[in-house]
């Protein structure tokens, strides 16, 4: 069943920093929007049939509007370019999916350390609003190459939790640099860290968090795209897919994605990010061994071998049986 979409209108669009489109979305009929929790995202249904997820950065207590910030990515596969072409116009109309959360807060943690790198600041803003409303202990660190490149600086300065914000810009010297291990080591026991940003940045922060003694359950991350995975020695191999419910068998070529092969035989699978991040395209594996290339499944879920994200993953075994 295809989820019902929301009809929304763009309000107050602006361009901040170096290439960040910031805008709010309001219900086209003036109604309240569905409630969302801090860390959630919505899927934007963009011109050309593109569907892309973007984090909500507004106060979760405000259901009159959603706010988003989208960086125009030079390596865009079409999503961020479409946003900048079509949604920087007040009154523009589009459809979005209901909010979903794959990056939820642990709201009863003794202390939360929020770390946003570049456009990764967006989910941290919603988290800061929620933690402030709870009266919870937290701090927010925003890292960017320079003030000129940074977005949301006015929001951070005017927020009622502005005193909890620390800014770190690469061009302002060593004294301004983020020191994640020191920050986390000095935080109260039981602290949790949340990080979003470029993959290398997140890997560094999470490694420092582990070195500071935080368990896996205390370390939270949201990727923009799945980290690059090296192909097996000898390169990718062709494999076969049996689709149990539809009674079809599909050959997936060595240079072909599983998703493309499914589409080639008329099998529809809902997709959003197409990078193995959001989990929209997860399918049940009935037999065979997947080769996981996503950033969505946990280590335990991967070990169970009963799910696969068809947008990016492949097969280790010569044959997979899917519940499609």
Write out pLDDT tens, residues 275-309.
787 788 889 999 999 999 987 787 788 889 999 99
Beta bridge partners of 308: 283
Do the Cβ atoms of 99 and 41 come closer than 8 Å? yes
**Can you tell me the distance from the alpha carbon of 104 to that of 123, in angstroms, rounded to the nearest whole number?**
10
Give backbone dihedrals phi and psi of 127, rounded to 5 degrees, phi first.
Answer: -65, -40
Give the pLDDT score at 1: 41
**Can you tell me the distance from the alpha carbon of 117 to that of 43, in angstroms, rounded to the nearest whole number?**
22
Domains, the chain, with CATH or none: 6-101 (2.40.30.10), 112-222 (3.40.50.80), 239-322 (3.10.20.30)
pLDDT in tens, the chain (324 residues): 456 899 999 999 999 998 999 999 999 999 999 999 999 999 999 988 888 899 999 999 999 999 999 999 876 667 899 999 999 999 999 999 999 998 999 999 999 999 999 999 999 999 999 999 999 999 999 999 999 999 999 999 999 999 999 999 999 998 899 999 999 988 999 999 999 998 889 999 999 999 999 999 999 998 776 555 556 666 789 999 999 999 999 999 999 999 999 999 999 888 877 778 778 888 999 999 999 998 778 778 888 999 999 999 999 999 999 999
Closest by Cα among 186, 196, 193 to 218:
193
Going from the C-alpha of 198 to that of each of 5, 82, 104, 148, 285, the distances in angstroms are 30, 21, 19, 18, 30
Write out pLDDT tens, residues 256-281.
999 999 999 999 888 877 778 778 88
Within 31-146, residue ranges assigned H as helices are 79-86, 121-134
The sign of the torsion formed by the CA atoms of 281, 284, 285, 291 equals positive
């Amino acid at each position: 069943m295809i989820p019902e979409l929301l009809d929304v209108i763009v309000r107050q669009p602006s361009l901040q920093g170096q290439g960040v489109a910031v805008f709010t979305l309001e219900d086209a009929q003036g109604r309240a929007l569905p409630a969302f929790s801090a860390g959630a995202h919505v899927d934007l249904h963009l011109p050309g049939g593109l569907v892309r997820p973007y984090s909500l950065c507004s106060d979760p207590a405000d259901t009159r509007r959603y706010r988003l910030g989208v960086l125009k990515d030079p390596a865009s596969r079409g999503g961020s370019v479409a946003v900048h072409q079509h949604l920087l116009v007040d009154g523009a109309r589009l459809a979005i999916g209901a909010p979903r959360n794959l990056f939820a807060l642990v709201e009863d943690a003794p202390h939360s350390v929020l770390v946003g790198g570049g456009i990764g600041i967006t989910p941290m803003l919603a988290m800061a609003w929620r933690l402030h409303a709870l009266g919870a202990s937290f701090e927010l660190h925003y890292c960017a190459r320079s003030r000129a490149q940074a977005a949301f600086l006015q929001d951070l300065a005017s927020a009622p939790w502005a005193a909890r914000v620390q800014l770190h810009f690469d061009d302002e010297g060593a004294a301004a640099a983020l020191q994640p291990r020191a920050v986390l080591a000095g935080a109260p026991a039981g602290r949790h860290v949340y990080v979003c940003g470029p993959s290398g940045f997140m890997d560094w922060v999470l490694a420092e968090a582990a070195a500071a003694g935080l368990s896996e359950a205390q370390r939270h991350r949201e990727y923009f795209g799945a980290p690059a995975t090296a192909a097996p020695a000898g390169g990718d191999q062709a494999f076969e897919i049996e689709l149990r419910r539809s009674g079809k068998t599909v050959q997936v070529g060595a240079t072909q994605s599983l998703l493309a092969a499914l589409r080639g035989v008329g099998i529809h699978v809902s997709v959003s990010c197409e990078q193995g991040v959001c989990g929209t395209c997860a399918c049940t594996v009935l037999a065979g061994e997947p080769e996981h290339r996503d950033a969505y499944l946990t280590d335990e879920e991967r070990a169970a071998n009963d799910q696969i994200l068809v947008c990016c993953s492949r097969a280790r075994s010569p044959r997979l049986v899917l519940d499609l």
